[in-house]
Amino acid sequence: MPGILKRSRRRELSVTKSFVNAVKSKVASVESIFGAKPLSHYNTRQPIAHSYHIDPFKTDYDHAQEVPRRVRRWVRRPHYIHSLPPELLSHIFALGSQMDTMLPVDISHVCRAWRYIALHTPPLWRRISLDLRTDMWAERMYRAKACTFDIELRSDGAPCRVLDVNSVSWCMHLVAPYIYRWRSLDISFNHYSPWLWNAALSGCCGHTSRVHAPLIQDISLVYPHNDDTKEYTLFDGVAPRLTRVTLYGLRLTWLPSLFGNLTHLDYTHHGFTRGLLAVSELIEMLQVSYALRELRLEFPAATRDVPSSSHPLRPVILPWLAHLHFRVSSRDIPSELYHFSSIVSTPSLLSLQLLDVTRCPRPFARLHSFLPVLPLPPSLIALRIENGWYEPYVVGALIRRLPNVQQLVVKDPLAPERLFVDMRARRGRQVRAGGWEGH
């Protein structure tokens, strides 16, 4: 039996008007103390901002302008480089990639816009510096799309870059099928290992159209320690656009179809011949490449017993040669350089540089006998003399023989480099050692 004090049903909750007024007054007092916004502000519906598509070519500053003004003051102003147009950025990156092979990878990790530019600029990926990471270079060749390739294979002295015949063959096997797209080839070995040239150039030789290089413009082949006397015929003699060649430690078949259009030749004799025979070999090359504008020559000291010859030399004329460099890497002027200077004619020569790689502290012993055969046409306007080539008497004699020279650079072993200009006004003065005033 239910108790007398127990209710038979629950009473519904009812909020009286006085209770509501008390709660409102309490909330109003709290807002006035803490500066909070009224409840009506939070109950009011605000329009939802529409999401926008992120344009990869918009800079961070452009995105900052879309942020509400009350938040914009907290956005850090980006660097001015982000305001450059993508076309200009891609050109800057392409120039930088010629000096740093990994630059395209680095800039693709900077920001979203730069990554988009890097992935959509094929010239950034055209430089292929081969090593054993063949998968990475294959991916770069894919990203280069239809661009020509700049192929490099260099051993720079680091332990990971010491190459042998097997590693060289593996690297060249990756790029050999694309010879028709090569723009340049740069191979340099600074350590000795047998059969390196055979491994590096075997894919470029043969009598087939697959080894033709119709787009190649520049070749650099350097291997000072080479002992392979084999003569190589590159690209089946087909390279119509080839204009620049750097050669050291290698014998090549000098075909007119391959080297007839050269304008720049940096030639260091391979050392397999010496004396007049070495000069005769150079003369045959220059008779093919007679259109040279710049020629750099060096005959290193003989390190092995090599054949020589005494047959007479035929004179050679280089009608368009404008720049001539003679480099000496031995204790004295080599006899080959003496014989070559006595038979070469350069009627359009503008500048002559006499360079000493060894920085000899004394003048060369053959310097006085070399002076009469030195090619000094009246057109010469610039002359550079370094170290072992320098002697006050020789410099004075050269100045008197050059009526139109305008600039002279002298590098004395015991003094800093000096530049002399306006030599016409000085020609009437007596030339004495240390008596010039450099500008």
pLDDT in tens, 195-254: 999 999 999 998 999 999 999 999 999 999 888 889 999 999 999 999 999 999 899 999
pLDDT value of position 37 = 53
Count Cβ atoms below 10 Å from residue 30 Cβ, excluding itself.
9
Contacts of 243 (CB under 8 A, 6+ apart): 217, 218, 261, 262, 263, 264
d(CA 149, CA 83): 31
Burial 84-123 (b: 16+ CB within 10 A, else e): eebeebbeebbeebeeeeebbeebbeeeebbeebbeebeb
**124 near 97, Cβ under 8 Å?**
yes
Edge-first strand listing for the sheet containing 182-189: 127-129, 149-155, 182-189, 218-222, 244-248, 264-268, 294-298, 323-328, 351-356, 382-386, 407-411, 418-421
pLDDT value of position 88 = 86
Q: Token pair of 313, please?
A: 């030399």
Q: Token pair of 130, please?
A: 């081969």
Q: What is the mean pLDDT of each run of 10 residues along the chain (439 residues)?
A: 52 65 68 52 47 50 54 60 80 85 86 85 90 89 91 73 84 93 94 90 91 95 90 93 95 94 95 88 94 94 61 87 93 90 92 88 86 87 89 83 85 78 57 44
d(CA 107, CA 340): 50
Q: Is 311 exposed, middle or buried (0-12, 13-18, 19+ CB in 10 A)?
A: exposed
Helix 134-143 × helix 165-175 angle, to 10°:
20
Question: For 46-91, how does the pLDDT look when each residue is reduced to its tens digit (9 = 90+)?
Answer: 444 444 444 555 555 555 555 555 555 555 666 677 777 888 888 8
pLDDT value of position 358 = 84
pLDDT value of position 65 = 55
For the entire predicted model, the pTM comes to 0.76
pLDDT value of position 400 = 82
**242 near 215, Cβ under 8 Å?**
no
pLDDT value of position 359 = 82
d(CA 288, CA 363): 35
Kind plus residue range of the DSSP H or E element containing 259: helix 256-259
Q: Compute the half-sphere exposure of residue 4: CA atoms within 13 Å on the CB side of its CA.
A: 0
